[in-house]
Structure 1
């Protein structure tokens, strides 16, 4: 799921930290890690993606084979309303027992005492080494685990083989560099100028997860570290400057083009040869380009000073004030188990986080090199940048960076101004 969708409506949620919804300290309490098979309890499970209802239902069914007297009621809420509803529930101490959590919100809920510690789940088969370390770190706060990684997203470059061939440009290969990407994108844009075809299109103004959240670590920079912004770091600035340079010489479509027609639509319509996107795009492309699957492929991101991709994913969390915490912990452990995530893989909608279960997902799209998304998670992924109140500064990134990408404000100036704003916001979190 795209970065911007994570933060829709999230700014209001930051008010939780000052609304007194719970303790300012992380929860350290825990219930027994196992429950008796005859345990009787009523649980609610909250999630937002109706496309995953089949998987959720199947895994609840297998949970009930072990615990037949635990009734699980699912609560599906559209993403646009999910976090607003959860905020209200948290303030009223009525949170669902088990729920989906994401990176931009985990620290806010954990730091306010809304989530239960999951450290005791090792006795239920939850070994933290079974998941990508970057995700385990993302769902930890103050040394405590508050989320079991459910699935993950990494980023690659989708490309149209027919356009490359028509333009006389060699297809990209693993191990390619920024220079390789630039040369190919520029050559295709020059060839396609009269045809309205760009070398690359990217949603850099609205989707940092697919764009500069990757080039920043590729340049050996960072967005946030030790409670400080990295936007004024020279290496981070280099990870932003590349987009401005690529846009300036026509290699990448300018924001007005990519805003009027999203990059994925441009790609499907043959108006760009490449676009940077996450593994979540596979399902959409397989549907929209059915019968034309052989016309495109995907390759790993090009290298800058180093190889990197940002990683994000969802997690299973448990409400600290659940009336049936032991049963809720057992359900969360089941949903994060190898068996449950194998079911997730067969569904094909997301890459399961449990190591070794991803092969079924890869085989869902045999026509493309989807293994690269899985390999990236273990080989060179960096965690999605978050803080306690992520939305406060992340929502403002486009305000500062859009003028830089368009060339109206020097990148160093825009980055320094963003760093100042971000550091002021981060200082208020302490």
Structure 2
């Protein structure tokens, strides 16, 4: 679950390089038998803070000798603080980890492996949704995180705008896409786009330079992963980010299927159906949707609460469109909690991580109806909690049930890859470079693995 685009990786890249000076072989998390004292726990999602504060309070009641101090900061600052904290030796004991990050953390010896703790404390790895526990096993075969949640991508749409345009919910649920003419997906986006004179994008006289409502919102260029931006499109073409996943060593941004998809997607900007890239800087795509300036947003399930919180906006949720292969696609991302190798209290940190990964905490998270916890039974409880609020989350859960998901690309050199791909993708989406220019960026990326 990324929660935001990964642009912050590039900001922290220089500091990440400095971490190698601190690196050493990763060590094992200790026994939890004598755990006591205060530990720090960091996370980035403000929507989840209440749930995890309750988990911390409940944990303290069950373990009065251990106190957990929870700190939440926004995505960009979060990773900068983590990186700098590792260097300075004042990072958190435990933190919410991301698949795009932990490869470099392992490489620099900054995480404690959890294998001994999992074995000694009988942590059941089969309780999690299929595949989630395996994501957190590094190239060295050691485990560096216990699963906390998972996410997929869907389409949030403005029901009133859809209805006014004569489009039904069933039609929204059966959209199809291709990189040649965009299929029914592009037709729908065009029809939902309205200029300041009331002309729709598919009507004569439409003014693409004076748009009041865009058919599809844009969060940014997506850098090299495009989780919520375009990966749900490229994933339907047979294209994959890397030669294998996890721990691939060759990226495929030079593939024609990828570049054709990006060219089509960028073309929506040129046609006036999607905002220009420069207008997204410092802006929030959900907030733009909430202001009635976009009809559809492709986003992750972790944003359900935010979209439903906009007053006066009647929100619907649809699955991503089917593609050339006749199927839908969504990136499948799973977060975990990891332990800082520099913690001064590994016993308490380990006990807290095990608690975070247990039903005792994940059921609390499920009850808040914010995200889908990693434990299978807790996932079902979360779906029920959403339903109790009148929200049908099937567009997100069905991707998992239908096995139409693919993993977030997990490789080493993630910060360096982002440092290359973000400006390259920005250049394409700002109209300065063609999609074919990504071949050169791909060569630079692959040179990192030689």
Q: When the two structures are superposed, what TM-score results if normalisation uses the length of structure 2?
A: 0.82
In the alignment of these two chains, the number of paired residues is: 417
Alignment of 1:29-428 (within 5 A): 29-32=28-31, 34-35=32-33, 39-77=35-73, 79-120=75-116, 121-122=118-119, 124=121, 126-133=123-130, 135-142=132-139, 143-171=141-169, 172-178=171-177, 179-189=183-193, 191=200, 193=206, 196-205=212-221, 208-225=226-243, 226-256=248-278, 262-289=284-311, 292=312, 295-304=314-323, 305=325, 306-362=327-383, 363-364=385-386, 366-377=389-400, 379-405=403-429, 408-411=432-435, 413-427=436-450
What are structure 2's unaligned runs of at least 5 residues? 178-182, 194-198
| Structure 1 spans left out of the alignment, 5+ residues | none
Q: Structure 2 vs 1, CA of residues 254 and 151 (structure 1 numbering), >3 Å: closer, same or farther?
A: same
1:280 positional shift: 2.8
**CA 1:327–1:382 in 2, change beyond 3 Å: closer, same or farther?**
same
**Secondary structure of residue in 2 paired with 1:358:** helix
TM-score, normalised with respect to structure 1: 0.85
Change (3 A) 1:72 1:215: same
Secondary structure class of the residue paired with 1:224: coil
Say whether 1:15 aligns with 2:6: no
| Cα shift readout 1:244-300 (whole Å, capped 9, x = no counterpart) | 3444444434435555965433422333321211223222222222xx45x320111
For the 8 Å contact 2:363–2:381, the answer to whether it is kept is yes
What SS does structure 2 have at the residue aligned with 1:114? coil
Deviations 1:363-382 (A, max 9, x none): 34633322322333453222
Instruction: Indicate conservation of the 8 Å contact 1:206/1:398, yes or no.
Output: yes
Task: Determine the C-alpha separation between the residues in 2 that align with 1:261 and 1:84.
Answer: 20
Structure 1 or 2: more helix by fraction: 1
Structure 1 pair 124–65 and aligned structure 2 pair: CA distance change class (3 A): farther
C-alpha RMSD of matched pairs (Å): 3.0
Q: Distance in 2 between matches of 1:314 and 1:338?
A: 16
2:196 alignment partner in structure 1? none
Alpha-carbon distance in 2 for matches of 1:302, 1:345: 28
Structure 1 residue 199: Cα displacement: 2.1
State whether residues 286 and 306 of structure 2, in contact with CA within 8 Å, keep that contact through their aligned partners in structure 1.
Answer: no
For 2:437 and 2:68, locate their aligned partners in 1 and report how far apart those are by CA, in whole Å: 49
